[in-house]
Amino acid sequence: MRWIHLEGGYFDIGYQLGWWWGKTFKRQQTTGSAQAFLNALKKPYQDCLNRGWDDAIYPLLQNTIKYFPEVMEEIAGIAQGATDAGFATSIPSIFALCLEENDIQKHHCSAALVKQDNGFVLGHNEENDRRYPLCYAKVSLRTKSLQRSFVSISYPFELLASSAGMTRYFAFQNNSIGHAGYEELLENTWQRRVPKAVILRKLLDLTSLKEIKQLYSNYHLALPYHQYLCFADKAYSIEVRPLLNPYKLPKNQVKINEMNKDSHIHTNHFIRNIQIDMNWIWSVEADLLDTQARKLQLRNLLQQNPSLNKKNVKTALLKLARNPIYRDYTSATLIFNIQRNKRSCNAVSYFNDRINHLDEIVITKS
């Protein structure tokens, strides 16, 4: 795995992304166990890419078209690029694939945020129900009204930043949160909501905390999740708890707290009054136990080092990824180093049974 470069307008970068994924799954130079790994995923993804129209997701699609037409351009590009690369698909199929809202797979993820003298280190282990290949991309978005450079880590054929992202201004990741008991209620009000993946993608276009707050204040979300958001001078915890009544002001669904301690850890549950917020938990008890165990283990790994820095955060997350319990469903370790004049990302990809250390990717502040 390596960093790829995408450049152009929304449709262009979507097309290049879809083409790259199509060729990645079809490439002939991959041999042995790596090819077997891709082949095992190829059939499920082909089924997803060919499923076509789904009435159930129409409300979310309709709202994305209405509020974020540029994101729909990107999705159209992914669909066309994948089709031209040999994976025939459609815009509704790609849109459905992007949705965590209708995904029954497990979503884990472990994160650590550490304060430094000149900024912050944000570490993230991308964990799911199994290891997935990810796309590591440096993107130059160029339209008549918008010029942006950013880094994206994303899942096959999905929108950019479905895992994490970094711009000239900040870095972010996300942790899925359980919503046992609320699934049907949330789904029944999709006509008032927008998908999580669309909001994550839009973060890459923004430049300030003010814009981010505005984004979360304008649209009702369809899923709960947590994010760390770090600038060079300040870092924040963002908790999204979708309002069960989507006719109230959407700004009340989000809680943004500045991080003041030297280090913070998050897995896949909310904390309220020092206790787990039992309003937002996983339906399977084993998943709740898992998120608690990973948080404790990551904290213990970080505490093994007398000083917390980029190297030690990476070491702790690498050790967590090598743990036999988590090894088979950790796809990547990401280390974002957000300094005053430099933003960088180090990535370790766990592709099949191989560990690949990607070159550091850098975005300068100016």
* Domains of the chain with CATH codes: 10-98 (no CATH), 110-133+173-364 (3.60.60.10)
Which residue, 174, 156, 152, 22, is CA-closest to 97? Answer: 156
Concatenated DSSP letters of 225-254? EEEEEE-SS-EEEEEE---SSTTS-GGGGE
Count CA atoms closer than 13 A to 335's CA, side-chain side: 19
For residue 147, the model assigns a pLDDT of 96
Report the DSSP beta bridge partners of residue 272. Answer: 275
| Per-residue pLDDT reduced to its tens digit, 221-267 | 999 999 999 999 999 999 999 999 999 999 999 999 999 999 999 99
Question: Could you tell me what percent of the chain has a pLDDT over 70?
Answer: 96
Tokens of 266: 């998050």
Contact 225, 177 (CB under 8 A): yes
Which residue, 214, 204, 137, is CA-closest to 172? Answer: 204
Tokens 């082949």, residue? 39
Tokens 């066309």, residue? 80
Dihedral (Cα; 268, 71, 190, 248), 10-degree rounding: 80
Concatenated DSSP letters of 38-62? HHHHHHHHHHHHT----GGGHHHHH
For residue 34, the model assigns a pLDDT of 65
The conformation of residue 217, written as its DSSP 8-state character, comes to H
Sign of torsion, CA 337 339 343 344? negative
Residues with pLDDT less than 70, the chain: 28-34, 104-107, 365-366
State the Cα–Cα distance between residues 366 and 360, nearest whole angstrom: 18
For residue 191, the model assigns a pLDDT of 97
Sign of torsion, CA 269 57 205 162? positive
In one-letter notation, the amino acid at residue 243 is L
Q: How many residues does the chain have?
A: 366
Report the DSSP beta bridge partners of residue 315. Answer: none
State the Cα–Cα distance between residues 364 and 346, nearest whole angstrom: 15
Angle at 85 between CA 79 and CA 86, to 5 degrees: 95
In one-letter notation, the amino acid at residue 306 is P
Contact 50, 42 (CB under 8 A): no
Which residues contact residue 236 at a Cβ distance below 8 angstroms, ignoring those fewer than 6 apart? 209, 228, 229, 230, 256, 257, 258, 259
For residue 272, the model assigns a pLDDT of 83
State the burial class of residue 44 (Cβ atoms within 10 Å of its Cβ: 0-12, 13-18, 19+): exposed
